[in-house]
Structure 1
Amino acid sequence: MPEIHPQPTLKAVTLTHVRYQKGDQLGHFLAWVSLIPVFISLGGFVSHFIFRRELQVMFFAFGLLISQFVNEVIKTSVQQARPETCALLEICDSHGWPSSHSQYMFFFALYLTLLTYKRIGILGRNQMSVVLLLVWPSAILTMYSRVYLGYHTVAQVLAGAALGTFLGGLWFWVVNSGLRSFFPVIEESAFGRFFYVKDTSHIPNVLKFEYENARAARKHVSYKRAD
């Protein structure tokens, strides 16, 4: 008689594995909304580091990583179960309190709001309008999507939102009241010079500064070619 080996238990990577009921158009939309933190991390912060390398934004991203680490520590300690729908979603082996998606989005929304408000008149009021009309509704929709899709209870997403808001405000204060004084040191360090890391917080109007310097550089190249 052949020896029967037990089948291994398989576990999916749930970073982008979001399920919704077939035919549910709202669920389909909210499944994409639920992936906004992934888009921000990969499309936003990674591309920013590649092309911009601003210290303020780098510390912003680092704060989000700290926030997610805190979330995992709390989840592991509290070990609160997800709602009963976790069986259909095959995620009952993970914990639900607090919601990491809600925590991420509300941290992101508050930090970006405070950063924009701090630089209002520098980057312009239009950016604040984008934050208020796009970022905060996205945070609320993400929180709602986690309940609608069955990944969390209302209490779990509210806890995540509250914790994310608190950590976002706290980290903004830590960065801009203490760590920012080290920005010039980092900028002039071997690491900063090698990776072209910069801090433009001392420049009154970054967009105007970059625009005028780009034009001046182009004119300088044109003059050299003419000579």
Structure 2
Amino acid sequence: MSNSHAHPPLKAVTLTHVRYQRGDQLGHFLAWISLVPVFISLGGFVSHFIFRRELQGMFFALGLLISQFINEIIKTSVQQARPETCALLETCDSHGWPSSHSQYTFFFAVYFTLLTYYKIGILARKQLWVVGLLVWPLAIFTMYSRVYLGYHTVAQVIAGAALGAVLGGGWFWVVNYLLRGYFPTIEESAFGRFFYVKDTSHIPNVLKFEYENARAARKHVSYKRSS
């Protein structure tokens, strides 16, 4: 017996489903660039928590989550449609202003730049060229990719980039001028001790510090074994 009720249309989860024109090499490249936020979230912050447990990195990730939450609130309130190409991309059921990809990458770029400039990370100020040659080009290419691939208009990606930059700078100020004083308390809390959470932002060169302490610990172990 046939079902008299029409089935609702199915919708796919499109977190990493980025479309481009077959044979378009630039589109193929930009489709991968468009996945930068996914790579940063999964490859960067998840691995950072597993291996580093730095409070600065954890608050960095929290800021990105807050930024994306704000983006969803604005999109739901404004409800600006995506460009006409949304029909081919199957994204017409979602809103386009502001671009969440642009907001994410520009938040990341601004916060990371400030983090590097003020020597609150493993990079020193003299290594800002890494930020200029990698972080900012990725942010700009991500913004461009959303327009080129037809997911957003120019106005939507500019709005996302501007909002991300403002939120990135604002969150950096909140973390490093209002919340950083509480880092030692978090380190000594039950949560901090259980998850080995730490703050090394007061150490000028973390790589050198860890290297020298690792060598000292190895020499100490070798001395105990030989004695």
CA spacing shift, 1:191–1:160, aligned 2, 3 Å: same
> Which residue in the other structure is 2:59 paired with?
59
- One-letter amino acid of the structure 1 residue matched with residue 65 of structure 2: L
> Which residue in the other structure is 1:194 paired with?
194
After the TM superposition, which of the residue ranges 9-18 and 156-165 deviates more from structure 2?
9-18
- One-letter amino acid of the structure 1 residue matched with residue 54 of structure 2: E
* Superposed counterparts of 1:102-121, under 5 Å: 102-119=102-119
Q: Distance in 2 between matches of 1:30 and 1:126?
A: 30
> Which residue in the other structure is 1:29 paired with?
29
Structure 1 residues 158-207: Cα deviation after superposition (integer angstroms, max 9, x where no partner): 00000000000000000011000110000000000000000011122211
* Superposed counterparts of 1:2-81, under 5 Å: 2-81=2-81
- One-letter amino acid of the structure 2 residue matched with residue 152 of structure 1: H
Report the aligned-residue RMSD. Answer: 1.4
Output the TM-score relative to the length of structure 2: 0.97
> Which residue in the other structure is 2:175 paired with?
175
Q: Distance in 1 between matches of 2:68 and 2:104?
A: 7
> Which residue in the other structure is 2:164 paired with?
164
After TM superposition, the runs of 4+ consecutive aligned structure 1 residues lying more than 6 A away are none
Tell me, yes or no, if the aligned pair for 1:107 and 1:166 is still in contact at 8 Å.
Answer: yes
- One-letter amino acid of the structure 1 residue matched with residue 178 of structure 2: G
Task: For residue 125 of structure 1, report the CA deviation from its aligned partner.
Answer: 4.0
Q: Distance in 1 between matches of 2:28 and 2:122?
A: 39
Q: Distance in 2 between matches of 1:49 and 1:122?
A: 15
Tell me, yes or no, if the aligned pair for 2:120 and 2:201 is still in contact at 8 Å.
Answer: no
Output the TM-score relative to the length of structure 1: 0.97
- Structure 2: gaps of 5 or more residues: none
Task: For residue 15 of structure 1, report the CA deviation from its aligned partner.
Answer: 1.0
Task: For residue 103 of structure 1, report the CA deviation from its aligned partner.
Answer: 0.1
Q: Distance in 1 between matches of 2:121 and 2:32?
A: 34
Q: How many residues get paired?
A: 227
Tell me, yes or no, if the aligned pair for 1:99 and 1:159 is still in contact at 8 Å.
Answer: yes
> Which residue in the other structure is 2:206 paired with?
206
Tell me, yes or no, if the aligned pair for 2:117 and 2:124 is still in contact at 8 Å.
Answer: no
Tell me, yes or no, if the aligned pair for 1:123 and 1:207 is still in contact at 8 Å.
Answer: no
Tell me, yes or no, if the aligned pair for 2:53 and 2:196 is still in contact at 8 Å.
Answer: yes
> Which residue in the other structure is 2:219 paired with?
219
CA spacing shift, 1:154–1:47, aligned 2, 3 Å: same
> Which residue in the other structure is 1:184 paired with?
184
CA spacing shift, 1:161–1:87, aligned 2, 3 Å: same
Structure 1 residues 106-144: Cα deviation after superposition (integer angstroms, max 9, x where no partner): 000000000000008973345311111100000000000
Structure 1 residues 86-105: Cα deviation after superposition (integer angstroms, max 9, x where no partner): 00000100000000000000
CA spacing shift, 1:2–1:60, aligned 2, 3 Å: closer
* Superposed counterparts of 1:97-136, under 5 Å: 97-119=97-119, 123-125=123-125, 127-136=127-136
- Structure 1: gaps of 5 or more residues: none
- What secondary structure, in the 3-state scheme, does the structure 1 residue paired with 2:12 have? coil
- One-letter amino acid of the structure 2 residue matched with residue 58 of structure 1: M
Q: Distance in 2 between matches of 1:201 and 1:37?
A: 25
